[in-house]
Amino acid sequence: MYPPTLARVPCGGMPPSAILFPGQGSQTDDMRVMVERFRPELLQAAVQVVGEDPFARIGDGTRFAQPAIFCASLAGWEALGRPEGDFMAGHSLGELAALVAASSLREHDALELVALRGRLMQEAGERAGDGGMLALMGRGAAERAPELARARGLTVANDNAPQQVVLSGPRTALPDAAAAASELGLRPMELEVTGAFHSPMMASAAPAFDGALERVEVSPPTVTVVSAVTAQPFDDVRLRLLEALTRPVRWRETMLALQALGAERFIEVGPGRVLSGLAKRTLADVELVHA
């Protein structure tokens, strides 16, 4: 463990910036083109690590989607000239890209971790069976979601924004949660996923991922990277990445923490604009930029 990196003073008169790396669900049709253009060697490495081109099978689960999005995120960061920013954060798997950008993890180590993580999560979902996720959207979602989850044996998996929360757990419990959410004026939507991610149903993925984390070298980040598990700067990188398998993504709190640390400009570097949209719904008086 080591203390969090202190925020650096911005230079050149620019407002303090936070670089954001997206997670699963941010994929776009042009991702592979961006990786081919800006990081062709990373694409080759991904094919070798995964065993085939992950972009060709991105719809076949986390095993392929996660390494593809990881590569596209780093390609987007490259396209912007590798901005360091004053802070960084990543949504779920995006944390590994953020830690690469902050020189905490070596790129190839992180690619291997992402590929393993995606495979383990998919296998854990298949082993547990009956796992699913339910998005709740609308005013009051963040306040209503915890009680809705507790009453039905579900977990708040993604606290994304005040108006968007995702529940995770047994698929059989989702229809009742959706009905209750509708009665509260929320809009429920069951997600097409292969498991109950960010919940205790992912526990079987933890031992193998823990072993892999112990084998990689971890350095103190060169900039402050806020963990979406704790909504505070990373302290123990290995532990927080391991916990991210079974604990909620506290993205709303992460955005608020970045703003409290001084971030005024939020730059999303990966595919899609999911994180920009969530930041817009969570923060006021900040500048939003997309690669």
Catalytic residue among 92, 104, 199, 227: 92
Q: Specify whether 198 is catalytic.
A: yes
Q: Which of 125, 86, 123 is nearest to 223 (CA)?
A: 86
Q: Specify whether 91 is catalytic.
A: no
Catalytic residue among 104, 198, 199, 227: 198
Rounded to the nearest 10°, the torsion over CA 229, 231, 233, 237 is: 0
User: Which active-site residues does the annotation give?
Assistant: 92, 198
